[in-house]
């Protein structure tokens, strides 16, 4: 059973999220969480193997954050699909 | 698929209501059903009728109300969170003998149990935190 974790800010929310993610889960960065990509030692590097990290397109563009592989830029339609594809959705904020 | 949405942030100091509206529109466009909207904590401010953001900014409360009414959604505003923030309907205004009421049409004040009920009714509960 996989879980989609949404995170809306860097810092503690992100740290707590990373502790809870297991292999096969997905992480979606929305709102200020896209700033996590600017951190040189991002916690995202500590995620277990087999996890996908998605970044909300409009939130990254609004903040001037450039997204590159392995992170994938998505829109809200894809956010909805991820909610359907994962049995659980957890929000960290 | 059935979705319930919880919004915890206010339009003036959080992106939560905006993100939630984007998501809700994508749900409807994708043919999904929204069985409950629940506005909690500062999120109750989304339902006020008397906030006036500057004219060159989007009026999220207005946009949310139009969306709720256009799709005839079950939109619940947490009554305890609303009362402490001065968001009241006619009945609560009368009960507490307040000078007016400001809950937008289309929303209902009710208890936190409606969030649990929404979670049970829906296949997915998506929370938009402050």
Structure tokens at A7: 């995170």
Q: What is the mean pLDDT of the segment spanning A7-30?
A: 96
CATH of the domain at B69: 3.40.1260.10
**pLDDT range class, residue A40, cuts 50, 70, 90:** confident
Q: What is the largest CA-CA distance in chain B?
A: 44
Q: What is the mean pLDDT of the segment spanning A39-64?
A: 93
pLDDT at A61: 98
Alpha carbons A88 and A84: distance in angstroms, whole number? 9
Nearest to A30 among B8, B19, B26 (CB): B19
Is A31 an 8 Å CB contact of chain B?
A: yes
Contact A93 B129 (CB under 8 A): yes
Is the pLDDT at A29 greater than 90? The verdict is yes
Neighbouring CB atoms inside 10 A of B77's CB total 27
For residues A22 and A45, the model is more confident at: A22
How many interface pairs between A and B have CB atoms less than 8 angstroms apart?
49
pLDDT at A70: 92
**pLDDT range class, residue A35, cuts 50, 70, 90:** very high
Q: Which domain holds residue B85?
A: 2-128
Alpha carbons A3 and A42: distance in angstroms, whole number? 21
Q: Which domain holds residue A18?
A: 3-92
- pTM for the whole thing? 0.96
Report the DSSP pairing between strands B75-78 and B107-110.
parallel
pLDDT at A78: 98
Q: Domains in chain A: how many in total? A: 1
Q: Which of B5, B78, B87, B103 is catalytic?
A: B78
H or E stretch covering B10:
none
Q: Domains in chain B: how many in total? A: 1
Alpha carbons A42 and A57: distance in angstroms, whole number? 19
Q: Which of B53, B42, B59 is nearest to B7 (CA)?
A: B42
CATH of the domain at A28: 3.40.1260.10
Residue B70's contacts (CB-CB under 8 Å, 6 or more residues apart) are: none
Alpha helices in B3-98, H assignment, sequence order: 16-29, 60-70, 79-84, 90-95
Question: Helix, strand or coil for residue B102?
Answer: coil
Q: What is the pLDDT along chain B (130 residues), one digit of tens a residue?
A: 999 999 999 999 999 999 999 999 999 999 999 999 999 999 999 999 999 999 999 999 999 999 999 999 999 999 999 999 999 999 999 999 999 999 999 999 999 999 999 999 999 999 999 9
Whether cis (ω within 30° of 0) applies to the bond prior to A83 is: no
């Amino acid at each position: 059973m996989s879980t989609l974790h949404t995170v809306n800010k860097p810092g503690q929310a992100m740290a707590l999220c990373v502790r809870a993610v297991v292999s096969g889960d997905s992480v979606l960065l929305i709102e200020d969480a896209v700033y996590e990509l600017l951190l040189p030692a991002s916690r995202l590097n500590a995620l277990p193997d087999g996890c996908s990290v998605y970044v909300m397109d409009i939130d990254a563009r609004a903040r001037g954050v450039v997204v590159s592989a392995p992170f994938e830029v998505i829109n809200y339609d894809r956010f909805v699909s991820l909610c359907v594809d994962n049995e659980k959705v957890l929000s960290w904020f | 698929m059935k979705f319930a949405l919880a919004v915890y942030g206010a339009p003036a100091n959080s992106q939560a209501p905006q993100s939630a509206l984007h998501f809700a529109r994508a749900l409807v466009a994708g043919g999904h059903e929204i069985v409950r909207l629940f506005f909690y904590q500062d999120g109750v401010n989304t339902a006020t009728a008397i906030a006036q953001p500057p004219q060159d900014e989007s009026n999220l409360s207005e946009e949310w109300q139009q969306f709720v009414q256009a799709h005839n959604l079950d939109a619940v505003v947490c009554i305890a969170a609303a009362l402490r923030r001065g968001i009241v309907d006619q009945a609560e205004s009368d009960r507490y003998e307040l000078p007016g009421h400001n809950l937008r049409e289309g929303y209902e004040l009710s208890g936190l149990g409606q969030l649990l009920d929404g979670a049970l009714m829906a296949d997915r509960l998506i929370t938009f935190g402050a």
